[in-house]
Amino acid sequence: MYAPDTPVPLVGLQKRTSMLTETKQDALKRLNYITDHLAGIRKMIEPEKYYVDILLQTYAVRRAIKSGMKASRRSFAHTL
C-alpha cells in the first residue's frame, strides 16, 4: 500500500494535463456567449426593460453554463 502523500503510479495510462484543443475552443466560445449575454442583460436592466424578457435572457445564460459544465465533465472524464 502507498503512504497518503505518495502519488499512485498510473500503470498503462498517460496523464493528460491540458484540455483537448477542440474542448478548449468550445469552452472559450461558450464563455464569450455567456459574457455577451450578461452584457445584454445589464443593458436591459438599466432602462428597466420588461421583466419577463430579462428572465428569459437569464434562463439562456443558465442553460449555457449548465451545458458548458456537462462538456467540461465529459472532457475531464477522458483525462482519467
Place of cell 472559450: 28
Domains and CATH numbers, the chain: 21-79 (1.20.58)
- pLDDT of 8 > 60? The answer is no
59: confidence class by pLDDT, cuts 50, 70, 90: very high
Q: Which three cell numbers stand for residue 58?
A: 437569464
Going by pLDDT thresholds of 50, 70 and 90, the confidence category of residue 19 is low
Q: Give CA–CA dist 28/23, Å, rounded.
A: 9
What does pLDDT average to over the chain?
A: 77
- pLDDT for res 35: 92
